[in-house]
Structure formats: structure tokens, C-alpha cells
Structure 1
Amino acid sequence: MCGIVAIYAYSDSSPAVDPGELRCIRDAMARRGPDAAGEWLSPDGRVGLGHRRLAIIDLSDAAGQPMRSLDGRFHIVFNGEIYNFPTLRNQLLSAGVPLRTTSDTEVILELFARDGLAVVEHLRGMFAFAIWDSEERRLYLARDPYGIKPLYYSQCAGTLRVASQVKALLAGGRVPTNLSPEGLTGFLCWGSVPEPFTLFDRIRQVPSGSVCIADHRGIREPLRYWAPRFVYDGQADRTDERAMAVAESQVRNALLDSVKAHLVADVPVAVFLSAGIDSTVVASLAREVSWGQLTTITLGFTEFRGRIEDETHDAERTAERLGTDHRTVHITKDEFLRELPRILDAMDQPTIDGINTYFVARAAAQEGFKVALSGVGGDEVFGGYPSFRRVPLWSRALRPVARAAPLCWLAQAFVRHGIAYPHPKAAGMLLYAQSMAGAYFLQRGLYLPEELRSPSLHPSDLSALVEAGLRRYDPVRDAQRNVPERATPHGVVACLEQSHYMRNQLLRDADWAGMHHSLEIRVPLVDRDLTAAVADLAARKWRRQAPKALLARAARPPLPQSLTARRKTGFSVPMAAWEDDLNGSRKRSGHWSRRWALRVLRALKPA
């Protein structure tokens, strides 16, 4: 895990790369890579690459970056981990490529020298990289299939700037800080900024599962090589009559394969453990394939003691059953309030989530770990969220309402003028729930677009931007782009959850929250190979089986009924109580997440 930067002065009229700016951007990401720093400038001064290193695979100086290819033609900066690099490395060695290191970086570089951008089809892992081709004079950018690792770019006045963080690009001092109408409105609609936007108008994300090419004309349109809908498109909705044991075996083998791959490292790896099925299965499988002692870490909150949300006791029993070296860390309200300025400083893009990940990552780093496994992804693949039931139900039940225009106009007026308060989404059912994409937005959305037209809901200086954003960005149309043409209801919701909530919120939060503590968070349940192996089985209607039964049954020893039957609470934080305390004596209105969103927005937008 690292921080990368690339600057390409592609226009003849633009000045050469400023080494000072390159270092400014690079060193703004020092927490991403405290172990080493490197830079490279092309002989003509038109290209600069920078790197901050968190050493995890091949800890030697020889594996430092930027790295040059054997033939001298290519230079790379890379952030992430390639879990199948030992196999790919052996293939290169068998082909006579004289590799100099045991790093995954060199494997990517030499595969790129051989195969070009087709290299992304061979890589299993999380990655974002920039490769400079000195012969073709092109800069190649790529991001992993799910977008686990971030990659941002800004193109201004004939110069392209690329980095792992939005705030790092801004730290260079050459990128305008005008807010993005689409990014701002998207954040208020979803609670996270939807890809490819950011909060800033001149900064974009390289989309997940995409590659980009920049040449003397600047950056071209991204080329998509993978998306979740590629897996789910064409699935049939059927009840499976095969033996459950066959499916269990297939799923268990695929999960074991992914967890084992995600343990590849030259440093110790910990596991985040809650009372949920996902992290418990990951911990169980990791214990099964690990050679040494496994450390598990659980987060608890004083406000949750004695309540269903308190996961510490169940997690401790799981750790005892697995025989792990377990740590439980409790966070108090006062600690959150003291840490809040650092949390907001670490937050690279506005989000209403990530506080839990920030504190559990801090706990892991304080124990001396550089790597930890997380259970993120289990609900999105195996159908654990209420959305898998509600979204298809709502869309079927309310589809006829789409023809009742007067009712929809009335609902729109109710929401826009606040008549539907405090339950605007109830009226929103008539506006959005007729389609799967619309019902999903209603389930996951923060504010309805009609609400945002009320100036009282956001700072007055943002009203014009929000209005412009509402003209340019439609959250339902955005969601619809990720819906497969032919898929089961499960497949549609799986694509929506993986392409929105998981990608734009959970994975992005894991990156900024983990990297602030120089901790690499790996997600073995978010894996292209795993999804391809289990997606069809997870979508089938197994008789008398609870959601995620196939995932739960992969654990050894079997999970106790007290855990599998436990009411789902999520990896939650007592933000409602904490937000109320921040609000003080001022009048509180609406859900805490809405108040928190506005607080985050005020903190992250430029003065």
C-alpha cells in the first residue's frame, strides 16, 4: 500500500514539471507510505513520478519506486497488492525474464512491457498504477476491478496531475478548488460522492475497473474492462434442486482460495472481527490457512454496553473458539470528540461513514500491524442487506403507480415544500420506487432531489451549486447504468450494492481511514475471482435457507446458532448520540446522518 503521484506536462505550451510540486503532492501522502519516498523525472522534464512506500511485499530497497523496466522504456508507480504475483512471477521467469526483485511491482511492470494494458486481465488484487511509456510518450492509468484503491486526476492548462488522494492534488497548489455541482449534489443524495466525481470540479476519479491513456492531447475517455454487471448479466431466476452440500463445497473452496491469497505478505496480518457472519467467516478461514498465531481485533463503544449493538462479547467468544490472539478496544464519546479534527483531516472525500473503520484501523496500527483483513463485501455478494428483499418488492408493488401522474405530482410537491417531513421518503415511494434503480436509491439515499431544492437544507452559499448539480446529476439514472440488462432481482441488487454503497462508501472509507494510520485494509470478500465463482450460487433460491447461509457454512468449526441467528446490526457506531452532543442545545431535526453530512460538508469544503 502506497501513495502515488504522476505529473505529465503534455502540451508544448505548458511549463515543465516542477519538482517542488511533485514532492508537495507526494509528501502530502506521507501517512500512506512512511517507509520510503522516491521520485523520477524524465530527461526532458515533461514527466514526473513520485511514490510514498508502505513496505509489505519484498521489504528491500530494490523494490522501491518509481521503478524502471528492464529495457528502460517504462517507469511505474503502483499502489496496492497483487495476490497472484508469485504465479505471474514464475511465468515471467519461465519465459526468461531476468527479474531483479521479489516484488509485485516489478511483475506488473514486466507484464505490461509484454502485454500492454491487457495486464489488468491477469492481476488478482487491489491496484492503482501509472506507467510512463517513453517511446510512445503516453501515460497509462489503471484501477482494480472494484475500485478498492483510489486514483484521482486533474487536467488543467496542458498538464495532467494524478495522485492517490484528492487532498494531495490540492496540496500541490496548482489545482483549482471550485466545488463540483455533480459531486456536491451526489454527496447530498447518497452520503458519499458518486464515482467518477469528487467534491472538486477539476478533479475526477479514474473509474473502477477502467484504464485511461494520456498523450499529447491530454487524457482520453476511460475504457471499462470490468464491472459487476458483467458477472450477473444473463443469470436466470430459479430454485436449485441440487444438493446443498455441493454448493457449500464450491463456495467454501472459493472463499478459502480468496482468503489464502489475501494473506500473502512479508509482514504479519491481523483480522477485524465483529459479531457478524462476514468477519467471523474471514477470521475462521484465515485461522485455517495461517501458519502462525492470528490476531483478531474488535471495536466496542461504551454507549452500546448491554445492547444488541454491542458486539464485543460475541466476538470474544468467537476468538476464544478459534484460538486467536484477541484484542478488544473500547471507544468513548470523549475520545471521539478529541479525535474528530483528525478524522475530518484524514477524510479525503466527504462521507457519512468510516468512523468505525478509522478507530479499528488505529487499534490495529497501535498493535504494530501494517495489514488487516476486513469482512466488507459479504452482504453485497451473498445478499445480506434488507435491500435484497425490499428493492424488488417495492418496485413490483409500486410499478402501477408510475401511470398515476397526479399522485406523483402531489408527492413531489409534498417533498419539495416540506409537507412530508419528517418522513419524506414515504412520499418519495411514489416518485422513485417503480423501478429497481429508483427503489434502490430510496433505500440507500440520504436526501431526495426534491428536498435539496429547499435552501434551508444546505448552506446558503451552496444553493446555486446544488441547483446546478440537480440539473446535471440524476441519482436514479446513475444507478440505472449499473443494472444488468438481464438479471435476477438478486443480481440487480447485488450489482447496485457493489457499484454504489460498497464502492463509493465502504471501500473508499476503508482506504482513507486505514491509510491515515499507515494500515493496509484487505477485503477478501471483494474479489473478482470469488464473485465469478459464487455469484450464481448465492443468487439461487435455496429452500428453507437464511440469507448468507452458503457464506456462514464455510466456517470451520461451524458457526453457532447464536451468531447466525443474531439480528443484523452492522459494524455500527453510536453516531446519533455523538452527533446530538456536537449539536449541543441547538434544535435537532431529521436523522443524525443528515446532520452529520452537513457537518462534514462544512468541514471539507474550502473556506
Structure 2
Amino acid sequence: MCGIAGIINHQASEEKSLLIKMSEFLRHRGPDASGTYAQGPASLAHTRLSIIDLNSGDQPIHNENKTIWIVFNGEIFNYPELKNQLLAKGHKFYTKTDTEVIIHLYEEFGTQLFDHLNGQFAFAIWDQNTEELLLGRDRMGIRPLFYCHNHHRLVFASEIKAIFADNTIPRQIDPANLSDIFTCWATLGDQTCFKNIFQIPPGHYARFSKKGLKIKQYWQLPFGKKIYQERSVEDWREELNQLLLDATRIRLRADVPVGAYLSGGIDSTYTSALVKNNFNNKLCTFSVGFSDKQFDESYFQKKAVDYLGTDHKTISCSYNDIGKIFPKV
């Protein structure tokens, strides 16, 4: 994961020291590198965990004439195919990253770029030409993206703590939304457990300009569509297997080693088996065991590791471990 943050202020320039402070609150998300962009109304920051293009992929990243800038957290799994299409259209690239692909997609398709992305992402694109910010979040909301909006000014970040680096933003718990977290494990819609701090909902994007903030949904699960066909269970099984195989394959695109979390459950065991049997015979896996037997799945993890023969690492977590780390979290 990486960390992104920024401030758009259409009435005054922001102090760069605040941008740096926001970035420092996200250092744990991106320990490998950091970068900032500040010009006119826009200030952007990025902390990087390097996965693709280790040498020239530091952010923010820009287009050919440096009028459009992006900070990005996530991975675009189909970026090689997209890059080839964009090269054919005349776009020029100065990095090998998936990040730069997004900025050229924006030049080519505007907000329709989301139709082309296969990935998990949260990003901010600043367009100097229109003085407009585009915030986007992936279809299922895998990558986080929070913001605080006050008329002419918008502050955003991967984590709320970075937004609270700005001491002018009030900190006030919202009891109803906090209750949702304890009940549903998450707040609903665009809400957070803090008043006046919101999140871009999954499958949505936001545009912020001098005219204000507009949020639009670009995708939703196709509930209600009649897609059932008279096919055998064997046919459905084969199609599902091929889809999972392709999804696993494109997630292995990286310039660093890729490992797999093995919980001991069906999902992680199956995806680990797909990698081990089809792509990577030296797969590294890792898991967490718990001292509380009510939550511990070490028995099933060991069965999976013994069967798959992966290079496995495990850690054990106790209530004392949770208590020690809780204040930092």
C-alpha cells in the first residue's frame, strides 16, 4: 500500500509544512519514498511502497507537459494492456509504472477512465488546465480515501489521521457512526466515525472545482439482472476456475516478490494453490495464529501448508500484543 494526501484551496496557498506533516502521518503506508507537488490551488503528497518500477516510479507523476498530476495508492492489474493501447494512440511515457497509465487514461477518456480499470485503487488527479481535482476509488472500496470539505477548500488523505494533521479541522466523534463500526465493522455510505469527515464511497468518484464538490457513482453490483443460463454445473465450475486463474495471474505482476496470506480458510487456501500450482513453485506464505483458541486457525493453516509445500512464516498474537500496539494503531 501507499499513502496519498492533499489540499485544494481555491482562495489561498497552503503552507508546505502542513503538506509535509500530513505525509509524515502516512509514512507507515509508504516507507520507500515520498514526494510532493505544490502549485497554485493544489498541494499533493505521496508516500511510496515500491512494487512496480522501483527506480523511476516515485510520485507525484505528471503527463507530458506537466499540466496534469497524480498521486495514487493501489495497483492497476491490466496496466500493460492499457499502456499498449495508449501508446498506439500517441501517448508518451517516462516511467514504467501503472500510475502513469491512469493519467493518460484521464487525458484520453476523462471520467470515463474508470470503465477501463481492473484494479484496486484510490487516487487524486489535479488538472491545471481546468483547476479541478478528480478523486477516485475502486469498485469495492478496497483502498481507503477520506476527505473534509469546507466551501472553497478540500483536504483528503488515505487515513483520517493525516487529515487531522490540519489543526483547523475539528475533531468530534459521531456516536451513531461509531456504533455502526462496532455492529457492522464499518460505517455506512460516505460516513466515518468523525463528524464532517467523509469517505468517497466504493465505486464513486468526486470532482472538486471552484464551482464546488460533486460526487458520482460510476459502478454498482448488477443486482436483479437476469443472467442465468441453462448450463451444467461443470460448465459453471470451469468458467469460475478460469476467471479466478486469470484474476490471480494479473495480481502477480510486480517487480518485487509476491507472497500470499494463508488464513487456513477456503478462499486463501484456494488462491494460494492457484499460485503454487500454476505460476510460482517457490511461493512464500504467511499467517497469524491467536492465543485465544476461539479465534485461532493454526490447525487449518498447518494442514494447508503441509499440503501445498509453501515457504511459510507465522506469527502468534496474544491479547497483550494487541494491547501494546493498540495506542499506536
> Smaller-chain TM-score range?
over 0.9
Residues 483-524 of structure 1: CA distance to partner in whole angstroms, max 9, x if unpaired? xxxxxxxxxxxxxxxxxxxxxxxxxxxxxxxxxxxxxxxxxx
Tell me the amino acid that sits aligned with residue 54 of structure 1.
L
2:7 aligns with 7
Residue 323 (structure 1) aligned with residue 312 (structure 2): no
Q: For residues 13 and 3 of structure 2, what CA distance do their matches in structure 1 show?
A: 22
Tell me the amino acid that sits aligned with residue 309 of structure 2.
G
1:313 aligns with 299
Residue 52 (structure 1) aligned with residue 47 (structure 2): yes
CA drift at 1:174: 2.4
- Greater CA drift, 124-133 or 169-178: 169-178
Alpha-carbon contact 1:139-1:215 (below 8 Å) kept? yes
Alpha-carbon contact 2:151-2:212 (below 8 Å) kept? no
CA drift at 1:338: 2.9
CA drift at 1:275: 2.4
Greater share of helix:
1
Q: For residues 303 and 317 of structure 2, what CA distance do their matches in structure 1 show?
A: 20
Alpha-carbon contact 2:146-2:197 (below 8 Å) kept? yes
CA drift at 1:27: 1.2
CA drift at 1:323: 2.0
Q: For residues 60 and 140 of structure 2, what CA distance do their matches in structure 1 show?
A: 24
Alpha-carbon contact 2:123-2:137 (below 8 Å) kept? yes
Q: For residues 85 and 300 of structure 2, what CA distance do their matches in structure 1 show?
A: 45
1:235 aligns with 226
Tell me the amino acid that sits aligned with residue 18 of structure 2.
E
Residues 46-87 of structure 1: CA distance to partner in whole angstroms, max 9, x if unpaired? 211111111111101x21111111132211111111010011
CA drift at 1:93: 1.9
Q: For residues 59 and 254 of structure 1, what CA distance do their matches in structure 2 show?
A: 29
Residues 326-356 of structure 1: CA distance to partner in whole angstroms, max 9, x if unpaired? 22322233333333333xxx2xxxxxxxxxx
Q: For residues 332 and 72 of structure 1, what CA distance do their matches in structure 2 show?
A: 50
1:286 aligns with 275
Tell me the amino acid that sits aligned with residue 244 of structure 1.
V
Residue 97 to residue 172, structure 1, CA distance change in 2 (3 Å): same
Q: For residues 323 and 67 of structure 2, what CA distance do their matches in structure 1 show?
A: 51
**Aligned CA-pair RMSD:** 1.9
3-state DSSP of counterpart to 1:171: coil
Alpha-carbon contact 1:160-1:218 (below 8 Å) kept? no
2:319 aligns with 333
CA drift at 1:105: 0.6
Residue 181 to residue 331, structure 1, CA distance change in 2 (3 Å): closer
Unaligned runs of 5+ in 1: 347-607
1:226 aligns with 219
Highest RCO, 1 vs 2 (Cα 8 Å, sep ≥ 6): 1
Residues 444-476 of structure 1: CA distance to partner in whole angstroms, max 9, x if unpaired? xxxxxxxxxxxxxxxxxxxxxxxxxxxxxxxxx
1:109 aligns with 103
User: Percent same amino acid among aligned pairs?
Assistant: 35
Q: For residues 156 and 255 of structure 2, what CA distance do their matches in structure 1 show?
A: 28
CA drift at 1:234: 2.2
For residues 154-553 of structure 1, the aligned pairs below 5 Å read 154-156=148-150, 158-180=152-174, 182-187=176-181, 189-220=183-214, 222-228=215-221, 231-235=222-226, 242-304=231-293, 310-342=296-328, 346=329
Q: For residues 116 and 91 of structure 2, what CA distance do their matches in structure 1 show?
A: 17
Q: For residues 311 and 188 of structure 1, what CA distance do their matches in structure 2 show?
A: 23
CA drift at 1:181: 5.4
Q: Tell which structure's C-alpha radius of gyration is larger.
A: 1
3-state DSSP of counterpart to 2:259: strand
Tell me the amino acid that sits aligned with residue 334 of structure 1.
N
CA drift at 1:25: 1.0
CA drift at 1:32: 0.7
1:17 aligns with 14
Alpha-carbon contact 2:25-2:162 (below 8 Å) kept? yes
CA drift at 1:301: 2.2
3-state DSSP of counterpart to 1:65: coil
TM-score (norm 2): 0.93
Alpha-carbon contact 1:175-1:202 (below 8 Å) kept? no
Residues 236-262 of structure 1: CA distance to partner in whole angstroms, max 9, x if unpaired? 7x8x86332111110100000111111
Alpha-carbon contact 1:70-1:110 (below 8 Å) kept? no
Residue 178 to residue 334, structure 1, CA distance change in 2 (3 Å): closer
3-state DSSP of counterpart to 2:69: strand
Q: For residues 16 and 95 of structure 1, what CA distance do their matches in structure 2 show?
A: 36
1:452 aligns with none
Alpha-carbon contact 1:131-1:141 (below 8 Å) kept? yes
Q: For residues 8 and 321 of structure 1, what CA distance do their matches in structure 2 show?
A: 53
3-state DSSP of counterpart to 1:109: helix
CA drift at 1:157: 5.5
Q: For residues 114 and 85 of structure 1, what CA distance do their matches in structure 2 show?
A: 15
Q: 1:83 aligns with which of 62, 72, 77?
A: 77
CA drift at 1:151: 0.8
CA drift at 1:281: 0.5
3-state DSSP of counterpart to 1:160: strand
Alpha-carbon contact 1:151-1:164 (below 8 Å) kept? yes
Tell me the amino acid that sits aligned with residue 25 of structure 1.
M
Greater share of strand:
2
Q: For residues 23 and 320 of structure 2, what CA distance do their matches in structure 1 show?
A: 33
Q: For residues 109 and 26 of structure 2, what CA distance do their matches in structure 1 show?
A: 31
For residues 118-129 of structure 1, the aligned pairs below 5 Å read 118-129=112-123
Q: For residues 281 and 203 of structure 1, what CA distance do their matches in structure 2 show?
A: 38
Alpha-carbon contact 1:5-1:163 (below 8 Å) kept? yes
Unaligned runs of 5+ in 2: none
TM-score (norm 1): 0.52
Q: For residues 280 and 268 of structure 2, what CA distance do their matches in structure 1 show?
A: 19
Q: 2:23 aligns with which of 21, 26, 36?
A: 26
CA drift at 1:264: 1.3
Residue 329 to residue 258, structure 1, CA distance change in 2 (3 Å): same
Tell me the amino acid that sits aligned with residue 34 of structure 1.
P
